[in-house]
Amino acid sequence: MGSGSRALKIFSGTSHPEFAKRICSELSVPLSVARHFVFSDGEIGLSIEESVRGADVFVVQPTCNNVNHNIMELLIMLDALKRASAYRINVVTPYFGYARQDRKTKARDPISAKLIANLLEKTGAHRVITADLHAGQIQGFFDIPVDHLTGIPLLSSYFKDHFKDSIAEEKLVVVAPDVGGVVRARRFAVQLNADLAIVDKRRSHEVANFCEVMDIIGVVKGKTVILVDDIIDTAGTMVNAARALKERGAVAVCACATHGVLSGPALDRLSDSIIDKVVLTDTIPLPESKKLDKIVQLSIAPLFAESIRRVHTDQSVSSLFTK
């Protein structure tokens, strides 16, 4: 019996229930019932309120802030579902926490992304569906299938619709905020038929989340530029890059990223910056307290819903991006 003939059940953790509801709406299936609670000493409690025996189960839980709580809650859900005899347990984590700790940068560093992969597998995950991992090779940390989705088509289509004149006049440039993001930015530029530029920056490892912009490789004078990254966290990279681009003659600067972590001073930095617009997807919830007039949030839930449908019915997921 293939998984497509089995019951499809979608559960949500507490990190982003609205995202799970959007997926369910796209698939026209009800959100399965799980009750989450916390004991007085801080331990996480869970009650799965319906049978999952023999079902193809998808657990929606981006491991964003509060990262450690959300990871532990996800692991507890996987354990409960495995013990309840689910046929297959698929982890849907639009934002994969600890992805930036993917290698040793100095002696005695942990590789925390690999640790999280081990924990998910050992606890019962059969598959992972995620988006725009900070380092694509994290897929190799798993010995189970990983469907690695991307927000590039969604984000680039927004700029296609809103920057038609700049595209037609060849005045649009896509910018990678660092050398490590060149492949992502190039794919974005191809979508828009735009030129590519690179911010060459030197990052200080003495202070976390601090970087210093050094130079711009490419022509940005007289152009509208789009800074493309996978994550906007404290926004230091984006704001410093935007300032450097303006100093070199860019007429307007927009920024976009799949994951809007927006921690610490991010909102103040973005609000005070010369960045005109910040476009994000909804892999991470954006509460009212974090909404700025210049922030636009697009829903990537339909892409995740279609991926879930294809996984459930044993169809190709990669063909979503090869058309």
Q: Catalytic site residues?
A: 201
Instruction: Name the pairing type of β-strands 277-281 and 252-260.
Output: parallel
CB atoms within 10 A of CB 206: 6
Place of tokens 């982003």: 16
What DSSP letter does each residue of 183-241 carry, written as one string? HHHHHHHHHHT-EEEEEEEEE-SSSTT-EEEEEEES--TT-EEEEEEEEESSSHHHHHH
Task: Answer whether 298's CB lies under 8 Å from 277's CB.
Answer: no
CB atoms within 10 A of CB 287: 7
Q: Which stretch of DSSP H or E encloses residue 38? A: strand 34-38
**CA–CA dist 34, 202 (Å, integer):** 46
**CA–CA dist 26, 29 (Å, integer):** 8
**CA–CA dist 89, 127 (Å, integer):** 7
**CA–CA dist 281, 295 (Å, integer):** 10
Give 189: exposed, middle or buried? Use CB within 10 Å, 0-12, 13-18, 19+.
buried
